[in-house]
Amino acid sequence: MARSSSDLEKKLIDSLSKQFPTKAAASTEIINLQSILNLPKGTEHFLTDIHGEYEQFNHVLKNGSGSVRRKIDEEFGNTLTIKDKKSLATLIYYPEEKLALIESEEENIDDWYRITLHRLVALTRRVASKYTRSKVRKALPKDFAYVIEELITEKAEVQDKEGYYNSIISTIIWLKRAPEFITALSNLIQMLVIDHLHIVGDIYDRGPGAHIIMDTLMQYHSVDIEWGNHDIIWMAAASGHPASIATVIRVSVRYANLGTLEEGYGINLIPLVTFALKTYKDTDCSAFSIRPGEEYNKHDMNMDEMVHKAIFVIQMKLEGQLIKRRPEFDMDDRLVLEHIDHEKGTIELYGKEYPLKCRDFPTVDPKDPYRLTPEEEEVVERLQLVFRRSEKLQKHVRFLYSKGSMYKVYNGNLLYHGCVPMDEQGRFMSMTIDGREYAGKALYDKLESCARKAYYSTKDPAEREKCQDYMYYIWTGAKSPVFGKDRMATFESYMIDDKSAHKENKNPYYSLRDNEEVIDSILREFGLFDVKDAHIINGHVPVELKKGESPVLCGGKLLIIDGGFSKAYQSKTGIAGYTLVYNSHGLRLVAHEPFTSAEDAIRNETDIVSDSEIIESRTERILVADTDTGMELREQIAELTVLLSAYEDGDIPERG
């Protein structure tokens, strides 16, 4: 029997009265929440397509895409030289490393401590000013919480304020706690400058440190993640899905990035290596070249090419098996192995015959090309086992599930990685799943449900396997929102010289992104009906600045913030990535130059050279009241007002 609205209201009042047992307690909380509504909104920081570039990622995270330096400029203006500002900024980014360097060079270290502590306290006071004292208190490091609160809180009752603060700082130095205190203040400033972090997909692949990035994100104070197709394939691999495991390994070996698997996640690849050396030792592996990074050991090149070929063939077979058991995916054009003429060394695709760069496939049976050999089956089984048993990989993937989703609507912005699949007329493309049609937001929601079941479902093995196959579709399927192309021409890019065969056609979404009607229809589809002030924040396809492409489309309604964080893309884009900052003054797009190294930043105080462009500036500051949090706070105030009325009317007694 359904409860009446009066019953629900009584239950709510009873529950609230336990938390706020008196009129005074309820009134105090209303005043507190009302005051929060009138504070400036916290700064949001958007990054996307990081692709394992952990050093640049960490630096951009630490400097808040220039937010720390802007706060230094605001606080100190012309009272500090540019050199002093750079030195202070570097200290905040890398406190422990910079301190070690300064302490080895500075003659009068106590004076340096004193000056630096005063500057850090002043800056902490500024960045903390937009938060309630309660929120700042929760962010304070435990060891120094009381002292920091004393230093950054205005004390009206103290006559000689300068003497009071000087006394505290002198005591810190006398007790030889200055280095730890400087580190604590620097980390606190980093935390308070950015209120919330958005990662708009593709943490994994290409660069060497996706596992380090994940460790960092797990320690970050407030973050959400919109999955990219490279994240999805790692999540599927962690669930034990064979085709996804093979894909992850192939991409890793191609970019000379096996360290992430072996050292980062403890994945034992010896069975694969042993199989590859035995099977492909005397075959042509020239088509399976490695794209080495700076630290790649070229002595491993021949072995890695054999491993590359072995896992490529295994992936093609497993992908073929998947496509055959899922005809609903409509991916028959990816069944390539059956079109090879092994005698002629050619393949017929799209009505044309192409010569193959490699014709030596000893494990492919022309009569049954997708069948794994017994040796390949054993390798795949052992890889499934080690992927499932990697404690660190499983921990990182669970974090991706807990903090991640296919899209997010946050403070009037729609965040997603790839595209909303549509036809040339701007109508949402539909996909049939379990006999039902899904398009637009519904397609995102259904595919996200599949992704979660693929990892967590234990009741129905057949359902779990089907959902794992759908994760592979999300990685590479024509109607996948996070892929956004008609096909992934993996085989062609390896095996065919003719570049026309490599072409992957983008979804019509990409040619319609400057069409305001289309963009407004997407915003409304995801519940953002006030389209005038809403934005889509998008990653996945790098903006090629060299070709004159712009990251700002549709009059600023669509912002593409993939500008080439990954070194593999920087020759095409001409920069090293875009990031976005959304603070109480508006939106600022930041374009970054390539990052040298953390060591160079610490020793030579070289920050990333960044150009920022104000996309949207508000004449009045955006307040917490204007955000999603503000909506929640107003609901709480309304509920507390009902409680207060109940106390005043005598409907319920005060408990205290």
Mean pLDDT (whole number) for 524-539: 94
> Which residues are CB-contacts of 98 (< 8 A; sequence separation ≥ 6)?
90, 91, 602
Residues 259 and 144 in one domain: no
pLDDT grade for 79, boundaries at 50, 70 and 90: very high
Q: 47: part of which helix (H) or strand (E)?
A: strand 44-47
User: Does any domain span residue 568?
Assistant: no
Condensed to tens digits (0 to 9), the pLDDT of residues 254-309 reads 999 999 999 999 999 999 999 999 999 999 999 999 988 766 777 788 999 999 99
Residues 289 and 378 in one domain: yes
User: Does any domain span residue 466?
Assistant: yes
Q: Which of 463, 420, 447, 387 is nearest to 232 (CA)?
A: 447
Q: Which of 213, 139, 188 is nearest to 399 (CA)?
A: 213
Residues 73 and 20 in one domain: no
Of the given ranges (39-53, 600-614, 628-642), which has the lowest mean pLDDT?
A: 600-614
User: Does any domain span residue 232?
Assistant: yes
Domain boundary among 155, 172, 193: 193
Q: Say how many domains are in the chain.
A: 3
Instruction: Say if residues 249 and 383 touch (Cβ distance below 8 Å).
Output: yes
Q: What is the pLDDT of residue 1?
A: 44
Partner residues linked to 439 by β-bridges: 430
Q: What is the pLDDT of residue 100?
A: 94
User: Does any domain span residue 520?
Assistant: no
User: Does any domain span residue 562?
Assistant: no
Residues 242 and 187 in one domain: no
User: Does any domain span residue 542?
Assistant: no
Quickly list DSSP for 439-486: ETHHHHHHHHHHHHHHHH--S-HHHHHHHHHHHHHHHH-TT-TTT-BS
User: Does any domain span residue 430?
Assistant: yes
Q: 438: part of which helix (H) or strand (E)?
A: strand 436-439
Mean pLDDT (whole number) for 341-346: 94
Domain boundary among 476, 507, 523: 476
CB burial class (10 A; 0-12, 13-18, 19+) of residue 634? middle
Residues 253 and 375 in one domain: yes
Residues 390 and 435 in one domain: yes
Q: How far apart are the first and last CA of the chain?
A: 35
Residues 460 and 374 in one domain: yes
Residues 11 and 68 in one domain: no
pLDDT greater at residue 10 or residue 524:
524
**What is the model's pTM?**
0.93
Instruction: Say if residues 54 and 213 touch (Cβ distance below 8 Å).
Output: yes
pLDDT greater at residue 394 or residue 617:
394
pLDDT of residue 514 exceeding 60, the answer is: yes
Condensed to tens digits (0 to 9), the pLDDT of residues 205-258 reads 988 899 999 999 999 999 999 999 999 999 999 999 999 999 999 999 999 999
Mean pLDDT (whole number) for 157-175: 83
Residues 346 and 468 in one domain: yes
Q: 405: part of which helix (H) or strand (E)?
A: strand 404-405
Residues 436 and 469 in one domain: yes
User: Does any domain span residue 416?
Assistant: no
Mean pLDDT (whole number) for 513-529: 96
CA atoms lying within 13 Å on the CB side of residue 281: 6
pLDDT grade for 593, boundaries at 50, 70 and 90: confident
Supply the range of the domain harboring residue 461: 223-395+421-476
Q: Which of 18, 22, 41, 39 is nearest to 583 (CA)?
A: 41
Residues 388 and 454 in one domain: yes
Residues 294 and 237 in one domain: yes
Name the maximum alpha-carbon separation found in the chain: 94
pLDDT of residue 159 exceeding 90, the answer is: no
pLDDT greater at residue 391 or residue 53:
391
Condensed to tens digits (0 to 9), the pLDDT of residues 453-503 reads 999 998 899 999 999 999 999 999 999 999 999 999 999 999 999 999 999
Domain boundary among 476, 493, 518: 476
